[in-house]
Amino acid sequence: MRGGLRTSAQTAITRAVHDHPGVTRAEVAAQIGIPSGFAAETVGRLVATRLVSERPALATGRRGRPTTSLHAHPDGPLVAVAAITHDTWQVAAVELGGTKVAATQRPHHRNQARVLDAVTAELGQVSRRFGTRVRAAAVAVPGTVAGSELVHAPGLAWHSIDLSALWPHYEPGGEFVAGNDASLAGVAESRHGAGAGAGAMVYLHLDAGLGGTLIEAGRAVRGATGTAGEFGHMPFGEPARRCRCGARGCWNTSVDGRALARLLHQRVPADDVSYSRRVLASARAGQPRALSAIRTVGSSIGRGIAGLVNGLDPHLVVVGGLGSDLLHIAADEVTAAYHDGLMAFRATPPPPVLPARLGTDGPLLGAAAEAFARLLTDEGLQAWVS
Ligand SMILES: [Zn+2]
């Protein structure tokens, strides 16, 4: 019994350090409800097993035993993570608490074989450099992911890719996670960003289309095949318009780069994420036609957020990717359409709609969070200690 208690206290403290690096030993003891002597003893064990490091905490003026602040151990466990976007890839080793200890980022030209080879090589490099400190791996990609298969990435025109091939140590059922970039960015925002501490949160991410996730009680709702959060494929668009997913009427067809090109009477862009980014920049600079197109898209986003809030009942909505920029530029249109579409009883006051805080690192940090979730269990930590 004592051994079980000790194990779960170790896991609880390690998780607390992961969620709030720099937390004091006294705060953790209070948070998980253990006596300070037992906390000091357990932290000592975590330091000895290279999970956590301890530093003297600043004096608080309180009496009693001086406390310490708790951090990732410099030789502690790491996760190897990769994030592929429509025009870059990044590979990093991330320590407890979500800090990158090594990272490589490169631009790419959407050549599938070259990008996958480069990411595989870099993940192999991280594995060789850090050896057994690397306990899990995770990959974020801009497309629909079921299990470890990238079903379709519309912005890259990639289909049916087995992402487990990217991790040299992959074993079925092992410590490897693949996920949609938008959903993973939502996981990261709920842990370390704009949604930290919120109960139920809808995260909406605008990139090649709209994606995201519903977070409840700290966990992403995944659905039957793990593909929940494809919000851009809800039929909030024009009913007759065909989406790249095969369905008609998807919300994406009203908000993506192609939609902007239609509004601006321009040709269908080859790279619609870069195109959207350019239109946003023109709108920010006050170019009237770009501004008008962005405002139209803003209304559609606001209306859709109302639909999500009516249907899912979150405490708050966080908007990321190109969406945080759009939220800023078309604030009035987003807000007006959001309030118009809300059920009256939800409007007093409406759940806040906030911009994401983690910027372009969201998907990578979300991948790290999912990989650490595999590690920060009683079993995962036992395996590290032994
Ligand atoms: Zn669709």
Instruction: Compute the distance from residue 237 Cα to the ligand 1 centre, in Å.
Output: 10
- pLDDT at position 1 is 39
Q: Which CATH superfamily is domain 194-357 in?
A: ATPase, nucleotide binding domain (3.30.420.40)
Instruction: Compute the distance from residue 300 Cα to the ligand 1 centre, in Å.
Output: 15
Instruction: Compute the distance from residue 317 Cα to the ligand 1 centre, in Å.
Output: 22
Nearest-angstrom CA–CA distance, 19 and 365: 12
Domain ranges, ordered by start, for the chain: 2-72, 78-185+362-385, 194-357
Nearest-angstrom CA–CA distance, 355 and 358: 9
Q: Which residues contact 229 (CB under 8 A, 6 or more apart)?
A: 180, 182, 183, 186, 211, 212, 213, 214, 220, 221, 223
Give residue 159's Cα distance to chain centre: 22
Q: Do residues 208 and 273 make contact, with C-beta atoms less than 8 angstroms apart? A: yes
Nearest-angstrom CA–CA distance, 232 and 234: 6
In total, the chain counts a number of residues equal to: 386
Instruction: Compute the distance from residue 233 Cα to the ligand 1 centre, in Å.
Output: 4
Instruction: Compute the distance from residue 235 Cα to the ligand 1 centre, in Å.
Output: 8
Instruction: Compute the distance from residue 350 Cα to the ligand 1 centre, in Å.
Output: 28
In CATH terms, the fold of domain 2-72 is: Arc Repressor Mutant, subunit A (1.10.10)
* Parts of the chain with a pLDDT under 70: 1-5, 59-65
Domain 2-72 and domain 78-185+362-385, same fold? Reply is: no
Give 70's strand partners.
54
Would you say the pTM of this structure is higher than 0.95?
Answer: no
Q: Do residues 76 and 50 make contact, with C-beta atoms less than 8 angstroms apart? A: yes
Nearest-angstrom CA–CA distance, 171 and 349: 49
Instruction: Compute the distance from residue 248 Cα to the ligand 1 centre, in Å.
Output: 7
Is residue 341 classed as helix, strand or coil in its secondary structure?
Answer: helix
Nearest-angstrom CA–CA distance, 95 and 59: 27
Which candidate, 207, 195, 169, 193, places its Cα nearest to that of 83?
207
Instruction: Compute the distance from residue 245 Cα to the ligand 1 centre, in Å.
Output: 4
Which candidate, 164, 151, 181, 162, places its Cα nearest to that of 123?
164
Q: Do residues 333 and 302 make contact, with C-beta atoms less than 8 angstroms apart? A: yes
Nearest-angstrom CA–CA distance, 10 and 149: 35
Instruction: Compute the distance from residue 195 Cα to the ligand 1 centre, in Å.
Output: 27
**DSSP letter at 271?**
S
**Rounded to the nearest 5°, which phi and psi values hold at 183?**
-65, -40
- pLDDT at position 65 is 61
pLDDT for 11-59, tens place per residue?
999 999 998 999 999 999 999 999 999 999 999 999 999 999 999 887 6
- CATH class as words, domain 78-185+362-385: alpha beta
